[in-house]
A and B are shown apart, each in its own frame.
Chain A
Amino acid sequence: MSEVPDNLSYTKEHEWLSLGDDGNVKVGITDYAQDALSDVVFVELPEIGSSFSKGDPMAVAESVKAASDIYAPVSGKVVSVNTKLEESPELINESPYDFGWMVTIEPTGELEDLLDSDSYQELIA
């Protein structure tokens, strides 16, 4: 059974978003996604300052067998990336909602098409 915290928003692409007090959005992949990927052994993160439109591939998480694109859940500019993932990509498996976060984005577009925890729970049921 995958963990789906109540206080986060989700996308159909199995990412989670957390809206900070500063208006920036922290993004990672869900427990369900990390389990489906299994051992994450390499993460390619965007450069700080790069801009993406919603739906653009912005990062890649690779397991032994496959590479998975991570899509920008909202248009915006990357303001920070989790550099710990370079040395310890397994943090995504061990702590997908906390130490395994991937990027924070300063949104330039609307936060839309997001799922709440109940809807996401239903999606993966």
Chain B
Amino acid sequence: MPSRRTPLFGHHNDLGAKIVDFAGWEMPIQYSSILSEHKSVREGVGIFDVSHMGQIFVKGSETIDFLSHVTTWDMHRQKEGDCRYCHILDEMGCIIDDTIVYTISEDNYMLIPNASKISKIFDWLSRKSESFEVTLENLSDDFFCLALQGPDSPRLLGQHLNTSVGSFQLVKIGDTIISGTGYTGEKGYELIGPISEVVSHWESLVEMGAIPIGLGARDTLRLEKGYLLSGQDFDGSQTTLETGYSWVIDWNHDFIGKEALMEFQKKSYPKLRGILIEDRGIVRPGNSVFSNGIEISSLTSGSLSPSLRKGIGLAYLDLDIGAPITVEVRGNHLNGRVVRMPFL
């Protein structure tokens, strides 16, 4: 499959970005430095081109019933203008993908699947929608997504669009949706709209001082907050319960995977835990995790935390907070501990 580019590819190149393949897209991994980009988002404001992410629209009179059936959340609790993070599960209770669900109106919803899961999710939803009065549209190719993130983002949004948006709320300006959402743990927004408008949004926000941020810092920013990376922290074989995200489940409604989860809940199981490395050194996905000298797991995510200046990682572990572990890196064992998340 040939690589795809967003309309901003030329802009990224002109800024000197290092480009990598991500889920079949040529995306900027960094413009100047992951450390400085990370800091810009924690302390100022950054802008991300995440137009590779998907946009699936669900419309029709049974939209709320349908989305409540296929996600872990009861959409009857959503009000117009609400955004909700939830999981889409298979019958075994395993996560197919995580997504934010946008209530544009009671019969018009939008989902944002991860780039690598767009067709999988669209096919899944299409199959499950047969007995519901809904229409599905995959408009991923026609929509852009920009993330404006950081403590200074409200000021820039006000300056750019003369609007303000609450956390996990959305407003619509013309055909563009602005939501108080993101993947960095900072105050921030995502702008989602017709792809023809992406260049003007990008150019004016950068002009106003938003620093372009690549996928490298996006990964360190999300990892410090313990956010899941689709395909890496879950790969189709873990349930929501194992990821430690049980708060995304509304048990008071029926949904695909619920029965399996209720059964699963009865046993003990390893959970995705945060690991903080106390020795100097950086851990990487795939590094083995040891407890009392015995290999018990491996890291699903691992990096340097630019904010803490220490190695951090995630692993499925049957250990309590505070438990000492070691992580093997190139034959050396680095000492660390299971810690409460978020790391920051």
Chain A stretch 49-88: residues in CB contact (< 8 A) with chain B? 60, 62-65, 67, 86
Q: Are A39 and B29 in contact (CB under 8 A)?
A: no
Does A18 touch B at the CB level, under 8 Å?
A: no
Q: Are B33 and A38 in contact (CB under 8 A)?
A: yes
Q: Are B330 and A41 in contact (CB under 8 A)?
A: no
Interface string of B311-333 (1 = CB under 8 A from A): 00000000000000000001000
Q: Are A39 and B34 in contact (CB under 8 A)?
A: yes
Q: Are A63 and B34 in contact (CB under 8 A)?
A: yes
- Docked complex Cα distance between A34 and B220 (Å): 20
- Docked complex Cα distance between A107 and B282 (Å): 31
- Docked complex Cα distance between A42 and B304 (Å): 9
Minimum CB distance partner of B20 in chain A = A65
Enumerate chain A residues within 8 angstroms of B330, measured Cβ to Cβ.
Answer: 44, 60, 67
Interface string of A81-107 (1 = CB under 8 A from B): 000001000000000000000000000
Interface string of A21-45 (1 = CB under 8 A from B): 0000000000000000011011010
In the complex, how many angstroms separate the beta carbon of A1 from the nearest chain B beta carbon? 13
Q: Are A64 and B280 in contact (CB under 8 A)?
A: no
Interface string of B1-40 (1 = CB under 8 A from A): 0000000000000000010000000000110011110000
Minimum CB distance partner of A62 in chain B = B282
Known contacts being A41-B304, A42-B304, is A67 close to B284, with CB within 8 Å? yes
**A interface size (C-beta, 8 A):** 12
Does B44 touch A at the CB level, under 8 Å?
A: no
Interface of A is mostly: strand
Q: Are B284 and A64 in contact (CB under 8 A)?
A: no
In the complex, how many angstroms separate the beta carbon of B129 from the nearest chain A beta carbon? 39
Enumerate chain B residues within 8 angstroms of A64, measured Cβ to Cβ.
Answer: 34-35, 216, 220, 303-304, 306
Does B194 touch A at the CB level, under 8 Å?
A: no
Does B151 touch A at the CB level, under 8 Å?
A: no
Enumerate chain A residues within 8 angstroms of B280, measured Cβ to Cβ.
Answer: 42, 86
Q: Are B34 and A38 in contact (CB under 8 A)?
A: yes
| 10 closest Cβ pairs, A-B complex | A64-B34, A39-B35, A39-B33, A41-B304, A42-B282, A62-B282, A64-B304, A65-B216, A38-B33, A39-B34
Identify 8 residue pairs between A and B in the complex whose beta-carbon atoms are under 8 Å apart, listed by A's number.
A38-B18, A39-B34, A41-B304, A42-B282, A44-B281, A60-B330, A65-B29, A65-B216
Knowing that A62-B304, A64-B34, A67-B282 touch, tell me 10 more A-B residue pairs with CB under 8 angstroms.
A38-B33, A39-B36, A41-B282, A42-B280, A42-B282, A60-B330, A64-B35, A64-B303, A67-B284, A67-B330
Residues in chain A within 8 A of chain B (CB atoms): 38-39, 41-42, 44, 60, 62-65, 67, 86
